[in-house]
Structure 1
Amino acid sequence: MKRSKKKVFGVIYGRSLMVILLLILQVALLVYCVLALEDYMVWVYGIFALISLFVVVFIVNSSGEPDFKLVWMVPIVIIPVFGGLLYLFVHTQWTPKLMNLRHTQLLAETRPYLAQDQEVRRRLSEINTQVEKLAVYSEATSGYPIYENTEATYFPLGEDKFEELKKRLNEAEKFIFLEYFIVEEGIFWDTVLDILKRKVQEGVEVRMLYDGMCSIVLLPYSYPKQLREYGIQCKMFSPIRPVLSTHYNNRDHRKILVIDGKIGFTGGINLADEYINVKERFGHWKDTAVMIRGDAVKSMTMMFLQMWNITGTQKEDFERYIPSAPFKTPAPGDGFVMPYGDSPVDQEPMGETVYVDILNRATRYVHIMTPYLILDYHMIQTLCYAAKRGVEVAIIMPGIPDKPYAFILAKSYYKELLTAGVKIYEYTPGFVHAKVFVSDDEACTVGTINLDYRSLYLHFECGCFFYRNSVVAEVERDFQETLKKCREIQADEWKKLKGRTRLAARILRLFAPLM
């Protein structure tokens, strides 16, 4: 109770309120400037309308996701005075362009440490050429190859990851890298922090990177300074400042933890108490994670270092974080493992590509867990096509949502998907935060990427793709166990909704690319 009161007072009297007020002031100033031109409104309106016309022509002829083009047409048509200028404002932002240049540079610098083992690729090609082509795409566009000699452990709940994480952190000898979207003081983070402070005293290098959205209500803006006093190197990614900018859309939604370059964790679990069900927010919190050990950890190490250095110009000694000798010898069931990252600034939809590839290759089933269902046209068609050609496509959604508007919007897709044969279930005990695809007892991916526009297009994300690895069976087993606690959505579910709910869902769908 005291901690929640502290957060409330921190927002009211702290930096967050100042940021909000200054942003409102900037918007008010723009509106005032327009009103000041009232006497010349006919000429002003004509000029803006002409600008909007040129913008519409440009949008129609530009490359990119069609749904994003559509959502831009709405403000341009409804408020042509502001619509065209708003588009120009968004697409002339320099921060994403600089970030893209830096990201491209870092990919080039890390490529020598992520070279594809051609023998691994050859063996994969002999087994499945389609999966091999996915690996070729990943290595060519994002720089992340596919590996053998990597074993994995799957965690069906945050509590399971928490116990293993404490054990592995205590074993760290050289370095610990942490990158998370949400960090909140409580049992989970406080326990991890105590271990990190002790490890620093033992001479272990510790780096912490977390998303700047945490500074709004979860952590003090000066928290990196506090961690640095403990000896922990710390950065906030894209801290919120009182300046109008669209680059705040590009959040670091990744969850990565690397220990000594030998062990890597990823999945949906952040460093906060609801993820281990110590604190209840939306019923039981169902989340997943995976731990890998072996060669593939190199990609997760480089992924972290790329994000760590994306906002700076300092030189990084990447080689010192690569183990000098293999961590383990190949074992039966290891199969192939491909960690991958997705960036909003490189125009390559890596996260969606992996999902679509799994759906298109499936012959028997694709089972999915996701907290959100806000789909673009391409994903809708891919899901429906898989179901119509006889593949069992089943999606588990939350029964208790964390964002009511997102839940209402998700229901607008139910009718179309159910009609095509896609099965949809809702987890009755609470909230599903897992991001999992598993298919045909052969392939799966576990990561941070939701089935929504923000994850697929706007955020920095990551995942881990497995093919013929023993972890695939664990993921499918967890899906079936979770399914026992779900209710199946029926085809007439949409009709049972209240009229105002259906209307709200249709209106929200118009703005889906912004959610």
Structure 2
Amino acid sequence: MLKARRRIMLIGWDFDARINLGESSEAPDAPAKVGEFILWLVNRNPELEVYLLRWDMGALKTLFRGSTVLTMLKWMRHPRIHTKLDAKHPPAASHHQKIVVIDDCFAFCGGIDMTGDRWDTRQHIDNDPGRHRPNGTPYKPWHDATTALTGPVAAALGEHARARWERAGGPPLAPITGANDCWPDDLVKDFEHVAVAIARSSPEMADCAPVTEIERLYLDQIARAKRMIYAESQYFASRRIAEAIAKRLEEEDGPEIVLINPVSAQGWLEPVAMDTARARLYESLRGRDKHRRFRIYHAYTAGGEAIYVHAKIMIVDDRTLRVGSSNMNNRSLRLDTECDVTIDAAQPGNEQVGPTILAIRDGLLAEHLGLPRDEVTAHLAGSQSLIATIEALRGEGKTLRPYEPPELSDMKAWLADNEVLDAEGPGQMFEGIGKGGLFRRLRPA
């Protein structure tokens, strides 16, 4: 944001102006808290404008965040800070995209909102003093991921952000042109000169056609996998994705599929909806997994505390790397708005990306197993198996542990089977009840 010259667009599910961004040697006098930092940015640059778009229902949290309300009032009085609550969604839907666009030249797109309980390091140290809320109370270890992008893909995300702003009731915004010094000086690039795909979800509404690019991409990536699928997701509750996995597990020579999940979803409704659906899907898939090629694991700290996996990542063979906001649940496919980005080695000009994709996958596994990446890579080279490598290298302390499905009460099983709390789209909150439940397409004809 220090490099922004004319426009910053912040689009998110939640936003907390109290969070601490830390310090920068480039601007030692800059405020550390994001709310005051944004005010400082626009006051030092008379050409800069900031646009903040957030989900309207998520904004209710602001009422209980003390100084955030005061900061928002300061923003609203500033002529070059524009805030809007996005209510353009069906009942029970949310705007779940997490996007930042700077001068249409640089963008973040991934799973991280600018809100509390998100900061951590890849070491996920027990009792890390940096892992605390604005009021000083600690929170649990957190694992997340986003992408940093520049070039035409950043411009395309800028176009998407402007369209979201206008659809939410904001005035049309012209694209920013001419920016060229927008990459953070100390940020190392993993890829250069590659094609990047953008996939979106957007629900059907009276004046808006549905967008199901994310669903099609999940199904296509699973169908095209040759040997290995590595994925991280906050949830595993989508029956469409489970059906696609089931088809591959029944093949004689299909791919291994490893999914990293949190032990349990956060909140009071999410565990009922998501954890119970995961248990039912897992048991159904286990019955079809005669070759034992599907696993779910949880990540733990060195002290044995569960790490909350919020990242949304899918890596298929050495071919595709996907990062975004979408989870493997029904609402991410057709009810909520989502945005993912993908690098595919099959695209012209991307032929060289395979080794980097594998290095990122092995680095994630090494992070979870508490081991050097080279050790993970060497074992994978010998075993040619994600599952065999994890089973051989996991141990005590910082490690991965297998998922163990819980015993479900009759009520929880009914809620999961009928998708009462995880609808596939607008108007389908109770569709499962009338059409045979969670596994209606997995059953033989």
TM-score interval (norm. to shorter): 0.5 to 0.7
Give 3-state SS (helix, strand or coil) of 1:248's partner: coil
Query: Do the aligned residues in 2 keep the contact of 1:282 with 1:401 (CA within 8 Å)?
Result: no
Structure with greater Cα Rg:
1
Task: Name 1:236's counterpart in structure 2.
Answer: 85
CA distance in 2, matches of 1:281, 1:326: 37
Taking the TM superposition and a 5 Å limit, the aligned residue runs for 1:29-428 are 169-188=1-20, 191-201=33-43, 202-203=45-46, 204-219=48-63, 225-230=73-78, 231-238=80-87, 247-276=90-119, 277-279=131-133, 283-312=140-169, 314-318=171-175, 321-323=176-178, 334-345=193-204, 346-376=209-239, 378-389=240-251, 390-402=254-266, 403-405=270-272, 406-419=274-287, 420=289, 421-428=293-300
User: In structure 1, which of residues 423, 442, 451 is the aligned counterpart of residue 328 of structure 2?
Assistant: 451
CA distance in 1, matches of 2:363, 2:249: 22
Unaligned stretches of 5+ residues in structure 2: 22-31, 120-130, 184-188, 301-305, 370-398, 423-445
Give 3-state SS (helix, strand or coil) of 2:216's partner: helix
Q: Are 1:488 and 2:360 matched, yes or no?
A: no
Query: Do the aligned residues in 1 keep the contact of 2:326 with 2:332 (CA within 8 Å)?
Result: yes
Change in CA separation of 1:335 and 1:194 when aligned onto 2, cut-off 3 Å: same
Q: Are 1:460 and 2:322 matched, yes or no?
A: no
Give 3-state SS (helix, strand or coil) of 2:196's partner: strand
Change in CA separation of 1:432 and 1:331 when aligned onto 2, cut-off 3 Å: closer
CA distance in 2, matches of 1:194, 1:313: 24
Query: Do the aligned residues in 1 keep the contact of 2:132 with 2:138 (CA within 8 Å)?
Result: no
CA distance in 2, matches of 1:270, 1:414: 29
Query: Do the aligned residues in 2 keep the contact of 1:397 with 1:424 (CA within 8 Å)?
Result: yes
TM-score of the two chains, using structure 2 as the length reference: 0.67
Query: Do the aligned residues in 1 keep the contact of 2:200 with 2:212 (CA within 8 Å)?
Result: no
TM-score of the two chains, using structure 1 as the length reference: 0.59
Give 3-state SS (helix, strand or coil) of 2:339's partner: strand
User: In structure 2, which of residues 287, 309, 314 is the aligned counterpart of residue 432 of structure 1?
Assistant: 309
1:487 positional shift: 0.6
Change in CA separation of 1:331 and 1:450 when aligned onto 2, cut-off 3 Å: closer
Amino acid at match of 2:416: R
CA distance in 1, matches of 2:52, 2:113: 13
Could you say which structure has the higher helix fraction? 1
1:252 positional shift: 1.2
CA distance in 2, matches of 1:450, 1:331: 24
Change in CA separation of 1:264 and 1:324 when aligned onto 2, cut-off 3 Å: closer
1:475 positional shift: 3.5
CA RMSD across the alignment:
2.9
Cα deviation per residue 1:163-198 (whole Å; 9 max; x = unaligned)? xxxxxx112122111101011243247722233212
Amino acid at match of 2:361: E
Cα deviation per residue 1:320-379 (whole Å; 9 max; x = unaligned)? x24477989x99754321123321122331111111111111101111111111112x32
Task: Name 2:391's counterpart in structure 1.
Answer: none
Query: Do the aligned residues in 2 keep the contact of 1:375 with 1:452 (CA within 8 Å)?
Result: yes
Identity within the alignment, %: 20
Cα deviation per residue 1:216-256 (whole Å; 9 max; x = unaligned)? 223478975542223311111119xxxxxx82323211100
Query: Do the aligned residues in 2 keep the contact of 1:210 with 1:235 (CA within 8 Å)?
Result: yes
Give 3-state SS (helix, strand or coil) of 1:480's partner: helix
Query: Do the aligned residues in 2 keep the contact of 1:282 with 1:431 (CA within 8 Å)?
Result: no
Change in CA separation of 1:352 and 1:222 when aligned onto 2, cut-off 3 Å: farther
Which contiguous aligned blocks of 4+ residues in structure 1 show a shift greater than 6 angstroms?
Answer: 220-223, 324-328
Greater CA drift, 308-317 or 420-429: 308-317
Give 3-state SS (helix, strand or coil) of 1:290's partner: strand
Task: Name 2:419's counterpart in structure 1.
Answer: 512
Change in CA separation of 1:332 and 1:282 when aligned onto 2, cut-off 3 Å: closer
- How many matched pairs? 330
Give 3-state SS (helix, strand or coil) of 2:95's partner: coil
CA distance in 1, matches of 2:225, 2:334: 24
CA distance in 2, matches of 1:356, 1:513: 23
CA distance in 1, matches of 2:165, 2:177: 16
Amino acid at match of 2:196: V
Query: Do the aligned residues in 2 keep the contact of 1:453 with 1:513 (CA within 8 Å)?
Result: no
Amino acid at match of 2:10: L
Greater CA drift, 189-198 or 419-428: 189-198
Task: Name 1:127's counterpart in structure 2.
Answer: none
Query: Do the aligned residues in 2 keep the contact of 1:264 with 1:292 (CA within 8 Å)?
Result: yes
Amino acid at match of 1:206: V
